[in-house]
Chains A and B, each alone.
Chain A
Amino acid sequence: MGFFDFIRNFFKKNKKIGLGLYGSPNSGKTTLANKIAQDWMGKEIGSASNVPHETRKVLKEEKVIIKKNGKELDFDIIDTPGISTKIDYHNFLEYGLEEEKAKTRAKEATKGIIEAIKWLDDVTGVLLVIDSTTDPLTQTNITIVGNLEARKIPFLIVANKIDMEGSNTERIESVFPQHKIVPISALNGENTDELYEAMFKEFA
């Protein structure tokens, strides 16, 4: 670690954690954000849907405190819109949206992706949420991991949807062998205790 990295990390450690939830559309970021907020604050912070790009603006919940073994981890949740390289409104029609609504959703989604990318400058920790039923080798995941590594932002890879048929966490491990991967189901809460433990180790 160079001198400037040391100084930067020193000051980052003394700041409150801005925990960004990043990933592709429909990977379960908002479901996870809701699970964390529900577990530790007793409320949800956003609406989740099976229609891609449901979250089109960054959702922020301040002062979430996780407690474990007498210790506290204090952070803000920054739930970001799913990052993608393409937005085709025709895809939304397949979910029953009317054409005008689908077009509006597409336009809003492009702005949401730009906002999510801009937030990379401000987050101090990241949960990269990957749908474990899909191929993890995507440009979105590679780009996010590359940026986090280059910016030296600590992060965990959350292999989500382990409750679903076709879930394959080994595939994620083989694509990102050098990073900590925590398999969970944000929907039913499976393994979230292990995630909270890993968050303490990575971000505290």
Chain B
Amino acid sequence: MEGLKLDFISFEAIENATSMEKIYMIIERVKDGSVVVMEGGLSPAERTELIETTMREIDIEKFVGIDVHTLEKDAKALFGLKRKKQVVITIVGPANVMQTVKKQSNLLSVVAKLDNS
């Protein structure tokens, strides 16, 4: 049975990377069939850059794009008020591999499809 490769990328590995370095770090792995689990999130500009790069890299027979999922926590702002969510984990995988994704507030469940399953 063909295995599923998971690549875990720590925050330290990307904190000094440029946006494009981050995008390619993700997209090259995902194009090879890996599911990338990254500590932290991407900025809004990086997320659009990721979609744009994905569209450029799509090969209609071999690579049909990505699925992106995130787990967030409440980020406390001034005076302890809940203001916005902060992404703690980003999961990016090939769209044809990420079969079912169920998300609850603090649980993300992914079923991946293997080549011959």
- The one of B48, B67, B96 in contact with A147, judged by C-beta atoms closer than 8 angstroms, is B48
With A114-B55, A139-B68 as given contacts, are A85 and B95 in contact (CB-CB < 8 Å)?
A: yes
| B16 is an interface residue with CB less than 8 A from chain A | no
Nearest CB in chain B to that of A138: its residue = B68
Q: Main SS of the interface on chain A?
A: helix
Nearest CB in chain B to that of A90: its residue = B64
A88 touches B65 (CB 8 A): yes
Total contacts A-B at CB 8 Å:
66
Nearest CB in chain B to that of A110: its residue = B55
| A103 is an interface residue with CB less than 8 A from chain B | yes
Q: Interface size of B by Cβ–Cβ distance < 8 Å?
A: 22
Chain A residues whose CB sits within 8 angstroms of the CB of B58 once the complex forms: 87, 106, 110
Q: Interface size of A by Cβ–Cβ distance < 8 Å?
A: 24
- The one of B44, B52, B65 in contact with A86, judged by C-beta atoms closer than 8 angstroms, is B65
- The one of B44, B51, B56, B95 in contact with A88, judged by C-beta atoms closer than 8 angstroms, is B95
A83 and B65 alpha carbons, distance in the complex (Å): 12
A85 touches B67 (CB 8 A): yes
Nearest CB in chain B to that of A148: its residue = B44
| A146 is an interface residue with CB less than 8 A from chain B | yes
Nearest CB in chain A to that of B63: its residue = A86
